[in-house]
Structure 1
Amino acid sequence: MQNVHLTIDDLAKLKIVPTVGPVAESVFAVDLLRRGAGGAPFAGWRKAVGLKMRRTRPSADVLTGPGGLRPRPAPESEELQQRARGSWLFDLVSSEGPADDVECPDPVIERVHHLGVAPYWAQARTHLQLDRDRRCQLLVSGGIEHLLSTLHAWIDWSPPVLTVASGRAQEIELRGNGLVIVPSLFLAQPMVFADPARTDRAPVLVYPAPLDLDTADALWSTVGAGDRALAALVGRTRAKVLQALTETCNTSELGRRLGISPAAASQHATVLREAGLVTSRRRSNTMLHSLTALGSALAMVGSPALDTGMAEPARSPCGPGPGARA
């Protein structure tokens, strides 16, 4: 059990962000594949990724077994537990830079990212954004206690201690730094990642976002079809703008995500804003862009649906996700 001790100051600094990014998700996906975990919702994904790996030339570190990767004789999640004790994985899940621009730390993770995460990332990111928005609504309507007590079946909130059944024995004192909460698609069980160097960076609680069979089937089977439909409706580049804005970001970062200049990104955002699909607000010397309810619905074309029960995503204390800095 990981016992996270929260003070009033920590609760005041609690943040919910939409994703740890595709590279961190690839780390979790490697663990999921090697253990054949995830159950029925991931059966289609495991089959598709295993087939891709058998069709492509495997590296020295990747074998084409039933799960696509070499099975490990170690107990479940031991490898991920060992990784969690290192600073590099904490750096990865706590990154405040552009989540899509992080380099893969080793060839196995890069391979799984290429074959098993990147092809599904647009839909996955939308799914995670919607789960995060639903948590924000729970926070706004029911308070922190309601949020923490409903995160996951393996997470228990008994003030002032949040207990996470991660398989690790650890006492985590936040020391007023707060806690970052983020959903994951590929993490099999909730886990708290804390900086081994014991700096003032807030630990990150990553929990598995719910995934039912219908949503999973849509997620694994519609890759590419939704993108084509959305591109036909609004144009290819503006379709990419909508999908990129499932995470709030500023103009410069939007340009980096799309591989276009900030001026071009601003122009596309302006057109979509005039169409009621994007909203923009100024913060200091930068402009932050987010999807409206209609824009979010369009971005979900071909993506799995998740009923949030709300017209607009809650913004505080959830705020912009990672990479929304100037």
Structure 2
Amino acid sequence: MQSVQFSMDDLAQLKIMPTVGPVAEAVFAADLLRRAGGGPAFARWRDATSLRLRRTTAVQPAPRTVRPPVAQSAGRAGDGGAWLFDLMEQDAEQGEAATAPDSMITRIRQVGIEPYWPKARAHLQIDREYRCRIMAGGGIERMLSNLHSWVGWRPPTLSIASGRDDVIELRGRGLVIVPSLFIDRPRIFTGQPGEQRAPILVYPTLLDQDAAESLWESAGTEDRALAALVGRTRARVLEALSETCNTSELGRRLGISPAAASQHATVLRGAGLITSRRRYNTMLHSLTPLGSALVTMGSPLPRPLAGHGLSAEQGAAASG
């Protein structure tokens, strides 16, 4: 059992992010594929991804006796899963240009993540908004108490069921909480000893059979429909704004210049799909409820979330 010790400062610094990014998801997916994990909800994904990998001569499917290279480092003594911090920072800085650390993870990202990523990211965003809604209505303690069946909250300690017994002192750094589609159990990443970055708790998002079938079926269809409606690049702009960012960050995520990103943002703002607000000398862009609905169209809510009446429009409103 891992125990995370909170102070009042740590609670004030708690953040919920929508995704670890496609490269980190590819690392989790490689491990899931190796173990044939995920249960029935991932059966269709496992079959499709394994078939695509077999058709690739350069990279063979991950053997079940070997861990993904990046995932191996997560188990090294003292490492604390520092690779996740690096991949998330790279994804935030480079967006789609972010590179995987080895050929196997690259190929799994290409065939097992990217075909599903627009819908997967929308699903993760909905999960994040659900947690934010719980926190807004019932406080941080209620959100932590309902995060996952393997996560327990007894102030000031957050316990995580795992094969390790250690105590993690946050010491005012706070905690970053992130849902993942391909991780199969909650895991906390602390980084290298002595680092001042906030530890990251990654937990499995809710994915029932109906949501899974829709996700695997609809891969690549709704994003093409969105591209036909607003144009390929502007569809990518909307998808990139699942998390609020400024103009320069938006350009990095898309691999375009800040000037081009600003032009696309202006058009989408005029259409009522995004909002922009100035903060100091930067402009922050966010999806409107209509923009969020377009990006998440066709994504069914997992049953536990649907039972709370959270729609795509409500989720966008809660985050705005």
Q: In angstroms, what is the RMSD of aligned CA positions?
A: 2.2
Q: What is the match of residue 249 of structure 1? A: 245
Q: What is the match of residue 65 of structure 2? A: 72
Q: What is the match of residue 87 of structure 1? A: 82
Q: What is the match of residue 312 of structure 1? A: 316
> Do the aligned partners of residues 314 and 94 (structure 1) sit closer, same or farther apart at CA in structure 2, a change above 3 Å counting?
farther
The letter of the residue matching 2:316 is E
- Mapped partners of 2:259, 2:66: distance in 1: 53
Q: What is the match of residue 188 of structure 1? A: 184
Identity of aligned residues (%): 58
> Do the aligned partners of residues 94 and 150 (structure 1) sit closer, same or farther apart at CA in structure 2, a change above 3 Å counting?
farther
In the alignment, structure 1 residue 144 sits paired with structure 2 residue 137 = no
Report the 3-state secondary structure (helix = DSSP H, G, I; strand = E; otherwise coil) of the residue aligned with 2:191. coil
* 1:279 and 1:292 in contact (8 A); partners too: yes
Q: What is the match of residue 164 of structure 2? A: 168
- Relative contact order (alpha carbons < 8 A, sep ≥ 6): 1 or 2 greater? 1
Q: Deviations over 1:119-159 (max 9, x none)?
A: 21111111111111111111100001110001001100011
The number of residues matched between the two structures is 306
Q: Deviations over 1:218-263 (max 9, x none)?
A: 1111122112211222222222221121122211222233333222
- Mapped partners of 2:27, 2:97: distance in 1: 15
Instruction: Give the structure-2-normalised TM-score.
Output: 0.88
Q: Deviations over 1:151-195 (max 9, x none)?
A: 001100011110111322221000111000010010010000002
Q: How does 1:102-117 map to 2 (within 5 A)?
A: 102-117=98-113
The letter of the residue matching 1:23 is V
Question: Per-residue deviation at 1:101?
Answer: 4.0
- Mapped partners of 2:316, 2:199: distance in 1: 28
* 1:20 and 1:94 in contact (8 A); partners too: no
Segments of structure 2 that go 5 or more residues without pairing to the other structure are none
In the alignment, structure 1 residue 22 sits paired with structure 2 residue 17 = no
Q: What is the match of residue 323 of structure 1? A: none
Task: Indicate which of 214, 220, 225 corresponds to 1:218.
Answer: 214
In the alignment, structure 1 residue 37 sits paired with structure 2 residue 37 = yes
* 1:137 and 1:313 in contact (8 A); partners too: no
The letter of the residue matching 1:36 is A
Instruction: Give the structure-1-normalised TM-score.
Output: 0.87
